[in-house]
Amino acid sequence: MARSGPQKRKQPPLPTNPPAKPHRPAKRVKINEARTILSQTSDKALNQNGDLDVSAFVKAREFEIKTMGASMSDSKNVLSTRAFQQVPKDLRRRTASHNVKRVPKRLRARAAKEVRSSSQLG
């Protein structure tokens, strides 16, 4: 015999705030910033006569070289993924981080290099 009374379980409350969106755009901004290199114009190095002011020109190039080195190190840190992250999800194993031979052949050399560098740091 079926009951015709009230339901036993309460309905879950409706969310007042929409669910948070993933931080995908923030990652995209971070990657784009890592790929940009700041530079200075060489207009200040030229006088009104068209003569080159060597010290101003050298300072501008020095700034560009420093920012290029900084952006290269930033992009290396931002855009890097480990070899173990490149393994397909169905092949990931905890032992892969300890045994390089459990990584696919295409990634073994890179994984061995990462294991060596991490063991030197630690």
Q: Is residue 48 part of a domain?
A: yes
Evaluated on CA atoms 94, 98, 99, 105, the torsion sign reads: positive
Residues 61 and 98 in one domain: no
Residues 58 and 90 in one domain: no
Q: Which domain holds residue 115?
A: 81-122
30-52 pLDDT, tens digit per residue, is 777 777 777 777 677 777 787 88
Q: Is residue 9 part of a domain?
A: no
76 close to 70: Cβ distance less than 8 angstroms = no
Residues 69 and 96 in one domain: no
Q: Is residue 22 part of a domain?
A: no
Mean pLDDT, to the nearest integer, of 72-92? 75
Whole-structure pTM value: 0.41
Given a cut of 60, is residue 91 above it in pLDDT?
Answer: yes
Given a cut of 70, is residue 23 above it in pLDDT?
Answer: no
Main-chain dihedrals φ then ψ at residue 89, nearest 5 degrees: -60, -35
Given a cut of 80, is residue 106 above it in pLDDT?
Answer: yes
